Amino acid sequence: MKHNDSIGCVVTECKYHAKDKNFCSLDQIMVVKHTPKAEDVECTDCGSFEEEGR
């Protein structure tokens, strides 16, 4: 699977994980926040995540 060298990823449950390497196969991801104000890493997530098999 083609991967993006600029987006490292270890979330193997994601359908966009490159499988053979710890990278994302998307050209671009969307980083989102799930609190009104992002004050630390726990307030952000990869909004491009989709569960494998969906």
Indicate if the pLDDT at residue 54 is higher than 80.
no
d(CA 11, CA 30): 15
pLDDT band at residue 53 using 50, 70 and 90 as cut-offs? confident
CA atoms within 13 A on the CB side of 16: 16
Q: What is the pLDDT of residue 18?
A: 97
Q: What is the pLDDT of residue 8?
A: 98
Q: What is the pLDDT of residue 15?
A: 97
* Predicted confidence (pLDDT) per residue in 16-49, tens digit: 999 999 999 999 999 999 999 999 999 999 999 9
